[in-house]
Structure 1
Amino acid sequence: MRKPNHFYYPIGKNRMQPVRELKMNHEQEMWMIGIMVAVTAVKFILMVYCRRFKNEIVRAYAQDHLFDVVTNSVGLQLQFLQFDFTGGLINWSYNIQSSYSKRIGPYLIALYTISTWARTVIENVWSLIGRTAPPEFLAKLTYLIWNHHEEIQHIDTVRAYTLGSHYFAEVDIVLPEDMPLNQAHNIGETLQEKLEQLPEVERAFVHIDFEFTHRPEHKTKV
């Protein structure tokens, strides 16, 4: 307000005065605290409820509710420090204006926010960029493929990579060259259905070949 700028604020900055001097009386403070406590309690109940589900989207809601519970609780504690309740449950002998809580509280909330959502971003980035599945899961797929049908002569390729919260699987198997088309199709289709029954697999693709000495048909795009 002490530095006017008529280009950005043609009528001056006096309208910032009510914002800068916003204060509440004791009754308004109690209403504010009651609302914050109620919202935090509801968020906590929703967090517990959403954690009961295995769906990734619902569990993301649980994480969001947990974040709100933590930040609201910290903000509520800082607000308690600011008040002097003579007849209430808390009676602080000093004012928050002269304590370090008001200074470090927002920074603590900001650091918690940054760290929490940074971890979330990293987790989601790994799930979107097509990162390979762990070796144990690839070994599980290989075992299922090899024991799927006695006519499978060779497993050429087994891939599984992230695409969202689940995996896409790509499989190349070798069947006898003289096998009838309908039989080869049935083997490939049933194998696809078996792989897609795994809870980790979103979609499976099965490619059938009669030999495995050729170069890969699909090259990686640069």
Structure 2
Amino acid sequence: MDLLCSAVMNICLQLIGQADTFNYPRGKERLEQIGVLICAILMAFANVGMAMQALNNIADDTRKPEVSLTTTGIVVVQTVLKGLLSWVCYQKGTPSSIVVAMDLRNDVVTRISAIVFAQVGDHYCRLADPIGAIVICSMIAISWFSHVLENIPPLVGRRVEQEQLSRILKLVIDHDPRIRCLDHVMVYHIGAKALVELHIVMDERLPLKVTHDISHPLEKKLQRLEFVERAFVHCDYTCDGD
């Protein structure tokens, strides 16, 4: 599953890098978000499958696990390496690196739990290993499904958080004293980032050059915000809510 998810993300990133700007003027950046959803769904169902397999092991009365010192040592080394890689991916912060970091984090949790439950199953209760597998896989599956549910609303146009909207409003208000008021503000996600639609009201006697020199730098300023992909600023002379 790790290889499959890595392949999905690599394909999405390659398609983004090879986007035809004629047919896709704004690129294919949202493919990364779609790849994240595909990987999250795959990993969620994979963990559901492992939990079902553990249930079958309990029903079939599968023999208790045998854990050697060599196996434990290998698992510990893998756990440490995956923990370090997970931290590096979280620091990068892109949607694709976050999903890889989640996968690595879950691997760390799975391996630590596997060592503990396998040791308990080897020495005390043979049902500890499959029961531990059911608990951990269920928790990880719920985590992946939650990630899917968190990433669907931005793809279908959810409004941004109040704190982000407040930052935009403050930036507009402080931009130029000739902006009398805001007639229309709409800020919503079009993927990982947001689209900003603004109607600013200014004196109708201002020349076109002046209104352009106010609105265009405002667009550029808005697009420098880390959560904004595109901004459109429309100039108006009356506040009619249109």
TM-score by length of 1: 0.69
| Structure with greater Cα Rg | 1
Mapped contact 1:154–1:174 kept (Cα < 8 A): yes
Q: In structure 2, what is the Cα distance between the partners aligned to 1:177 and 1:70?
A: 63
SS in 1 for 2:92: coil
Mapped contact 1:131–1:161 kept (Cα < 8 A): yes
Mapped contact 1:127–1:162 kept (Cα < 8 A): yes
Mapped contact 1:167–1:201 kept (Cα < 8 A): yes
Root-mean-square deviation (CA, aligned residues, Å) is 2.8
SS in 2 for 1:48: helix
Shift of 1:189: 0.6
Q: In structure 1, what is the Cα distance between the partners aligned to 2:140 and 2:98?
A: 18
1:201 aligns with 2:228: yes
1:72 aligns with 2:118: no
Matches for 1:79-118 after TM superposition, within 5 Å: 79-83=118-122, 92=123, 94=124, 96=126, 100-118=127-145
SS in 2 for 1:51: helix
- How many aligned positions are there? 180
Aligned twin of 1:39: 78
SS in 1 for 2:182: strand
Aligned twin of 2:17: none
Q: Which amino acid aligns with 1:65?
A: L
Q: In structure 2, what is the Cα distance between the partners aligned to 1:154 and 1:41?
A: 55
SS in 2 for 1:183: helix
Q: Please, which runs of 5 or more residues in structure 2 have no aligned partner? A: 1-59
Aligned twin of 2:96: 57
The percentage of counterpart residues that share the same residue type is: 30
Q: Structure 1 residues 210, 62: CA separation in 2 closer, same or farther (over 3 Å shift)?
A: same
Shift of 1:95: 5.9
1:138 aligns with 2:141: no
Q: In structure 1, what is the Cα distance between the partners aligned to 2:173 and 2:201?
A: 11
CA deviation string 1:122-157 (max 9, x = no partner): 221232221112333323322221221222223111
Q: Which amino acid aligns with 1:189?
A: H
Aligned twin of 1:16: none
Q: Which amino acid aligns with 2:195?
A: F
Aligned match for 1:185, one of 212, 224, 227? 212
Q: Please, which runs of 5 or more residues in structure 1 have no aligned partner? A: 1-19, 84-91, 217-222
Q: Structure 1 residues 155, 95: CA separation in 2 closer, same or farther (over 3 Å shift)?
A: closer
1:120 aligns with 2:159: no
Q: In structure 2, what is the Cα distance between the partners aligned to 1:95 and 1:184?
A: 77
Mapped contact 2:118–2:129 kept (Cα < 8 A): no
